[in-house]
Amino acid sequence: MPPLNKDDIVSILTLKKRGESNRALARRFGVTENAIRYQLKHQTKIKPDGRQRPSLIERLGLAPVVNHWWESTKNLLPEDRAPSGEQLWSHLVEDYDFSGSPKSVRKYLRSHFPKAKLRAFRRVETPPGAQTQTDWVEYRAMDIGGNDGPVTIYGFVMVLSHSRKAAVIWCTSMNQLSWHHAHNLAFARLGGIAAVNRIDNLKTGIIHGAGPWGEINPHYKTYAKTMGFHIDACLPRSPQHKGKTERRCGIMRTLGIENRCFMSLADLQHWSDEKVRIHTERTRCPATGTTIQEAWEAERLLLRPLPATMPEPFDIVRSCPVHADCRAHFEGRTYDIPFPYVGRTIEVRGCALVVQFIDPESGAIIRTYPRKTAERHLLDPTCYEGEATDRVLPPTPLGKMARRLEEISHMEVQMRSVDIYAALAEVAR
């Protein structure tokens, strides 16, 4: 009579649950009914685990402390969130010199307290042109040509929530300039601007706090006002609130980008644009039943048109007054501003290479100057010309001496003769 092995015992238990009799099991496995009865009794008997022993919390008599902490903390949290084991561990270490690990505390909580209730969430399909969702995806140790070694690159992913049309923009950093620059390129690929852009709680978007109650980054707030969309930040630890862009980030990770070599960032951008195009033409939009390409072509008609000139990406935005000498101060330098703005406060943006002065009412660019120059005073004589307004008179015109000095300043040194300086002296008399 052959002995029963582990596989036979598992099969006996399974067949017994299905209603097979002991006699039939004995015939099937070629053993006696007593052997079958013994295995059923032996395997179903609960055997104590000699390795288990009271936890460190119980041995130290801290169970009442944990119970009190659990009840007081749980009352302050929503029903779908359980108290944090890390916070309990910190509390025990600081107040009771607890020597156990955070893992031991989490294990004790799992075995002595119930799990938090599951909260169902509502699936929402947004109407066309209503929303985009935005997030970053990161790749480390990428082999990009033109660099000394592996580099980290970041993919900016923006998705139209209705049609699922996506745009992926690759950057070498996640700073404010890259954030605005990626928005510009993504909006251009999507063919317009949706009413709302849902973002995560990154510092380039939400500078303090999180979610709907967070404080929006002032630079991003200015950019959104210029482009004409509303900023909607997700609740923390709620990736399902921007599931459409999370889904696209997951798709990007399946393309094996980290295993490829690209000659440049532009080469990677071209490759990913082609992948997105193929995905758009072949995948169906669940909201419409058509392809994503067809759904996007219909949604694009409802998007806000792109501005004639896309705003230059900027990392600093300030409000500065225009003084009586038609000058504004920014980053330790002074800039000429047209005289009609004297006494008003205008907006200044620090872009990557230039400084832009913006009319806060119309949003028009007043003047553009190079940024962080060696010169501390940047001049523009045209700022002093023009007709008077109902509020400001133009500066007094230049006299003969000043006009002559200005003419000389624009002449090359080799072209200046002694007669010029003699004539200048005559003007001074």
Concatenated DSSP letters for 177-239? HHHHHHHHHHHHHHTSB-SEEEE---TTTEEES-GGGSEEPHHHHHHHHHHT-EEEEPPTT-G
Asked, for residue 329, whether it belongs to a domain, the answer is yes
Residue 408 is predicted with a pLDDT of: 57
Express each pLDDT in 37-50 by its tens digit.
Answer: 888 887 766 555 55
Amino acid at 11: S
Residue 398 is predicted with a pLDDT of: 66
Listed in sequence order, the residues at least 6 apart from 342 whose beta carbon sits closer than 8 Å to its beta carbon are 322, 323, 324, 326, 392
- Total structural domains in the chain? 5
Asked, for residue 416, whether it belongs to a domain, the answer is yes
Better-scored residue on pLDDT, 181 or 16: 181
Better-scored residue on pLDDT, 119 or 379: 379
Based on the domain organization, do 254 and 160 belong to the same domain?
yes
Better-scored residue on pLDDT, 426 or 150: 150
> Residue 418: is its pLDDT beyond 70?
no
Average pLDDT for the chain: 88
Based on the domain organization, do 60 and 40 belong to the same domain?
no
Based on the domain organization, do 285 and 320 belong to the same domain?
no
Asked, for residue 308, whether it belongs to a domain, the answer is no
User: Which CATH number goes with the domain that contains 357?
Assistant: 2.40.50
Based on the domain organization, do 188 and 264 belong to the same domain?
yes
Based on the domain organization, do 135 and 93 belong to the same domain?
no
Better-scored residue on pLDDT, 414 or 307: 307
The residue among 232, 231, 201, 205 whose CA lies nearest residue 217 is: 205
Residue 371 is predicted with a pLDDT of: 94
* Burial group, residue 65, by CB count within 10 angstroms (0-12, 13-18, 19+): middle
Based on the domain organization, do 191 and 259 belong to the same domain?
yes
Based on the domain organization, do 206 and 330 belong to the same domain?
no
Based on the domain organization, do 144 and 104 belong to the same domain?
no
Based on the domain organization, do 17 and 68 belong to the same domain?
no
> Residue 150: is its pLDDT beyond 90?
no
User: Which CATH number goes with the domain that contains 155?
Assistant: 3.30.420.10
Residue 70 is predicted with a pLDDT of: 93
Helix 292-299 and helix 265-282: axis angle, to 10°? 100
Average pLDDT over residues 325-346: 95
Express each pLDDT in 70-107 by its tens digit.
Answer: 999 998 888 888 899 999 999 999 999 999 999 999 99
Asked, for residue 420, whether it belongs to a domain, the answer is yes
Based on the domain organization, do 404 and 377 belong to the same domain?
no
Q: Tell me, rounded to whole angstroms, the distance of Cα 395 from its chain centroid.
A: 48
Asked, for residue 413, whether it belongs to a domain, the answer is yes
The token duo for 119 is 């909260």
> Residue 304: is its pLDDT beyond 70?
yes
What is the side-by-side order of every strand in the sheet holding 333-336? 327-330, 333-336, 377-378
> Residue 429: is its pLDDT beyond 60?
no
Residue 255 is predicted with a pLDDT of: 85
> Residue 62: is its pLDDT beyond 60?
yes
Based on the domain organization, do 235 and 379 belong to the same domain?
no
* Burial group, residue 108, by CB count within 10 angstroms (0-12, 13-18, 19+): buried
Based on the domain organization, do 218 and 326 belong to the same domain?
no
Confidence of residue 239 (pLDDT cuts 50, 70, 90): confident
Asked, for residue 392, whether it belongs to a domain, the answer is no
pTM reported for the whole predicted model? 0.69
Q: Domain range for residue 339?
A: 315-384
> Residue 427: is its pLDDT beyond 60?
no
Express each pLDDT in 172-231 by its tens digit.
Answer: 999 999 999 999 999 999 999 999 999 999 999 999 999 989 999 999 999 999 999 999
For the chain, percent of residues with pLDDT exceeding 90: 60
Question: Rounded distance, CA 200 to CA 304, Å?
Answer: 22
Listed in sequence order, the residues at least 6 apart from 412 whose beta carbon sits closer than 8 Å to its beta carbon are none
Express each pLDDT in 371-417 by its tens digit.
Answer: 999 999 999 989 998 999 999 999 887 666 556 656 655 556 555 55
Asked, for residue 391, whether it belongs to a domain, the answer is no
Residue 8 is predicted with a pLDDT of: 85
Asked, for residue 119, whether it belongs to a domain, the answer is no
